[in-house]
A and B are shown apart, each in its own frame.
Chain A
Amino acid sequence: MRVKVLFATVAQVIFFILLSQGADAVVRWLNLPIPGTILGILVLFALLELKVIRLDWIELGSKWLLAEMLLFFIPATVGIINYKSLVVHQGLSIALVILLSTLAVMLCAGLTGQWLSARQGEGGGRS
């Protein structure tokens, strides 16, 4: 049983790899102004909504890819060692920018969301 799940996962991951290469090829060929991954998301989402592809055909593969997403970014993150002087000289300013901006985003999105959902609540929607 576990072998079966493993094979299904591998096959589905290969499907995602092929889809991503196909999407890249189409973007290059048609000179589209969006990244191949976005085209891939839109096409796959449409195929799922139109029931051309059933969720259980690709669910195992997508679960694995999403669960291990962090692993795939490790090489890019480790690349920061090429920017030692940037980290030393501007690391603190960069961290401060990220901190303040993240706070601003949280307040902006959170308070707007709170206000809009309270208004809907008054109108008899869900709380």
Chain B
Amino acid sequence: MIASVFWLACTVAVYLLSKRLYRRFPRICLTPLIVTPAILIVAILVLDVPYDTYEGGAGFLSDLVAPATIALAVTLYKHISEMKRDAFAIVISVGLGAVAAIVTTIALSRLFGLQASIVDSLAPRSATTPIAMSISSRIGGLPTITAVATLVTGVMSMVMGPLVVKAFRIRSPLARGVLFGTSSHSSGVSKALEYGASTGSIAAVAMMVTAFVTLTFAPWIASWFQ
């Protein structure tokens, strides 16, 4: 009981502190996406605490994942006008991108000889984390691996995205928005916002469309490769 409360409090405290740290030193290697889990993992390993003890307390936070996912309806509602204006271009480019995410992930994982459960865990990782995790468990993946893979995708895209935008001279807000929103969910949306509000809105819409496309196609595409 005490251990549970301790780990819950610890998780919240580390999270709040790493957010502060990032506000002070906004460098990608110090993003709370990396720092928070890293500190907690080191603490758990050093103190030799079983994961179940940790999960017994901090797992309470996981219960808020589903309500937070439903809050994405508000994101969709606020940005739907962007969608209505450019529906065709958004749906086509996001659709191609989201399908490319699933196909390239499965093909590359196969090429590198990863086992089936890992392939299924990686396949939905371009979708927003909660949806990626629920797709993963539906197609035979491990939600924890998906959570980590989704996070890694987010961090990588924050580094790579601006380089791709520059190298390929991607200029329109629509193209930049779909690039970030399709490849890397909410991390992409926050990066896209740095290019302007309209790019951010397109990215938010792209994130939602990616979630729906991945939900529809991932189980189907995964079954081709079996």
* A-to-B contact residues, CB < 8 Å: 13, 16-17, 19-20, 23-24, 34-38, 40-42, 44-45, 48-49, 55, 58-59, 61-62, 65-66, 68-83, 86, 90, 93-114, 116-118, 120-121, 126-127
**Residue on A with the closest CB to B33?**
A70
Chain A min CB distance to B199 (Å): 11
Q: How far is the CA of A57 from the CA of B92 in the complex (A)?
A: 34
Q: Let me know if B225 is at the binding interface, CB within 8 A.
A: no
A116 and B97 contact, Cβ closer than 8 Å, known pairs A41-B70, A45-B77, A78-B37:
no
**A-facing residues in B20-66 (Cβ within 8 Å):** 32-33, 36-37, 40-41, 44-45, 51, 54-55, 58-59, 61-66
Chain B min CB distance to A123 (Å): 12
Q: Mark B147-171, 1 if CB is under 8 A from A, else 0.
A: 1110111001100110011001011
A45 touches B73 (CB 8 A): yes
A105 and B104 contact, Cβ closer than 8 Å, known pairs A37-B130, A94-B149, A116-B89:
yes
**Residue on A with the closest CB to B74?**
A62
With A79-B55, A101-B108 known, 11 other A-B pairs at CB within 8 A are A36-B66, A48-B74, A70-B33, A74-B61, A78-B40, A78-B41, A105-B97, A109-B100, A112-B96, A120-B86, A120-B89
**CB contacts between A and B, total, < 8 Å:** 286
Q: List 12 A-B contacts (CB under 8 A).
A: A62-B71, A74-B36, A74-B58, A78-B40, A79-B144, A101-B104, A106-B160, A108-B96, A109-B206, A110-B97, A112-B92, A127-B172
Contact partners of B109 in chain A: CB under 8 A: 93-94, 97
Q: How far is the CA of A73 from the CA of B151 in the complex (A)?
A: 10
Contact partners of B76 in chain A: CB under 8 A: 41, 45
**Residue on B with the closest CB to A112?**
B93
**Residue on B with the closest CB to A80?**
B148
Q: How far is the CA of A55 from the CA of B78 in the complex (A)?
A: 9
* Main DSSP-derived SS at the B contact region: helix
Q: How far is the CA of A41 from the CA of B171 in the complex (A)?
A: 32
Partner of B179, one of A62, A96, A100, A109: A109
Partner of A113, one of B101, B147, B178: B178
A83 touches B105 (CB 8 A): no
Q: Mark B164-194, 1 if CB is under 8 A from A, else 0.
A: 1100101110111111001110100000000
Chain B min CB distance to A124 (Å): 14
Chain A min CB distance to B197 (Å): 14
Q: Let me know if B218 is at the binding interface, CB within 8 A.
A: no
A37 touches B131 (CB 8 A): yes
Q: Let me know if B224 is at the binding interface, CB within 8 A.
A: no
A114 touches B32 (CB 8 A): no
Q: How far is the CA of A66 from the CA of B69 in the complex (A)?
A: 8
Q: How far is the CA of A59 from the CA of B184 in the complex (A)?
A: 24
A76 touches B144 (CB 8 A): yes
Q: How far is the CA of A28 from the CA of B206 in the complex (A)?
A: 29
B174 touches A116 (CB 8 A): yes
